Structure 1
């Protein structure tokens, strides 16, 4: 497997975490990959490979698709030679590039043609011809800089602060967060739905789950009973319920899968 990450230009770094490319050979047999919620949004260009979404409304994805903020496990089947290039947005990063309400992308996987029309096609055609890291980065930079709506970037610092606060303290009452930021709870909720696609409470839950995943993956042999409070859950029962809600499995099953599988994210 070949994998690399590419930094976006500084003008896009408030919104984009990175670009990436992965190439691998999976053989003729169909394989399934499970992608768990992580608070990120991805735009993916399949330069090679056959992909099918197992558990979303859109089943067959071709050439390019957008994977919005996911709220449950995403199962994808693939086969053959794969060459993927992706844009990884920050949790609030997709908003200024869309002309549709961002809530329409939450927990969905949609073809880029349905969201961006034919605009994405030019970038896709360029990526097919490129392999050098700098050229790929420059081409995606150009695409996004032409796509961004500057009027939608005005509240970047606020969105960054909301995201930071929810990551640091997932149990913080939304009313307290709103008060600290100088907003009503209702207004804060509307802002998050408008620019993240989901409520602030859901964002906090996803961040807490992602933190639990990282902890389990990094320390798979530590007992679960010691993790719950440390990770921001109220108790062991709350930890187990939330983990199964977002992963579809228990922490013990996840730890075993994470130990043994290369196609489990």
Structure 2
């Protein structure tokens, strides 16, 4: 699936991670040959840290690898609802954030069941495929881990799927168009891009992305607003509303609260307070 730069730019932000851990680093990239976008990141949870980190909806999955003395195995985190992620103090975490589309054909569970869940990698992919993604428990730099993960996931996606076909050809361009439009696009337009009926497109989208296309569009729009709110300097709400495609300020606040559980000003205040605590 070859996604254009617009989709590459969408990869959702998790400001809770960046603002909770001083050594947080990230790199936007794509998986070789497959061409789908991925965000790699890494951070260390200090020994004195409570180990709790807030996450917001992003529409992607995170594959998170812990490195430390006493850690569990890698886990897969769905990205549809706000949640607090429990982490192990004194542990290094390396993560890869991507759309579930290329892994969906290999999944042991329906992707839509993962959307609101956090499961061990071994419950998501067969053991043989998990071994391809396994990273050394100790040592290695951020960039060496990226290289190893890229090698592993390229091998995984090259294998024949467990059942059915690989992702439909029209799905990638439709996702690309959603991201390019910041989520402001109709289902009928998307089904036209995918060359199928609206009902069939909705079914395909849920099977490979894990959520209805309408919900994904709303999350893309929400993430667009989050990115603007996090820009340096003060940004007027009216600009965020218009540039993100909300009808008015009431629509913006209502949808923002749906995904963050707080109105924009309260959410931003809490985020900044946590950054300084």
**TM-score, with length taken from structure 2:** 0.77
* 1:92 partner SS: coil
Which secondary structure does the structure 2 equivalent of 1:261 belong to? helix
Q: Which residue of 2 aligns with 1:17?
A: 38
User: Which whole-Å deviations, capped at 9, do the CAs of 1:228-251 have from their partners, x for residues lacking one?
Assistant: 232111121111111000001010
- 1:122 positional shift: 7.0
Q: Does 1:78 align with 2:87?
A: yes
In structure 2, relative to structure 1, the CA distance for the partners of 1:205 and 1:8 (3 Å cut) is closer
Pairwise CA distance, 1:164: 1.7
Contact 1:174/1:201 (CA < 8 Å) preserved in 2? yes
- 1:102–1:197: 8 Å Cα contact kept in structure 2? yes
Shift of 1:12: 4.1
Relative distance call for 1:93 and 1:4 in structure 2 (3 A) is farther
In the aligned structure 1, how far is the partner of 2:276 from the partner of 2:146? Answer: 26
Q: Is the 8 A contact 1:49 1:80 kept in 2?
A: no
- Structure 1, unaligned stretches of length 5 or more? 52-61
Conserved? CA contact 1:19–1:87, under 8 Å: yes
Please point out which of 211, 217, 222 is paired with 2:230: 217
User: CA separation in 1, counterparts of 2:38 and 2:233?
Assistant: 27
Contact 1:43 1:87 in 2 (8 A): yes
- CA positional deviation for 1:115: 2.1
**CA RMSD after TM alignment:** 2.8
Distance 1:12 1:215 in 2: 30
2:171 and 2:194 in contact (8 A); partners too: no
Does structure 1 retain, via aligned residues, the 8 Å contact 2:46–2:90?
yes
Secondary structure class of the residue paired with 1:188: helix
The structure 1 residue matched to 2:50, chosen from 27, 30, 46, is 30
- Structure 1 stretches of 4+ with a deviation exceeding 6 A read none
Q: What per-residue deviation string (whole Å, max 9, x for no partner) do you get for residues 8-48 of structure 1?
A: 6522432x514333234241x52421111122211111112
Long gaps (5+) in structure 2: 1-21
Deviation at 1:215, TM superposition (A): 0.8
Find the partner of 2:218 among 205, 221, 233. Answer: 205
Indicate yes or no: 2:272 matched with 1:256.
Answer: no
CA distance in 2, matches of 1:192, 1:211: 21
Aligned to 1:195: 208
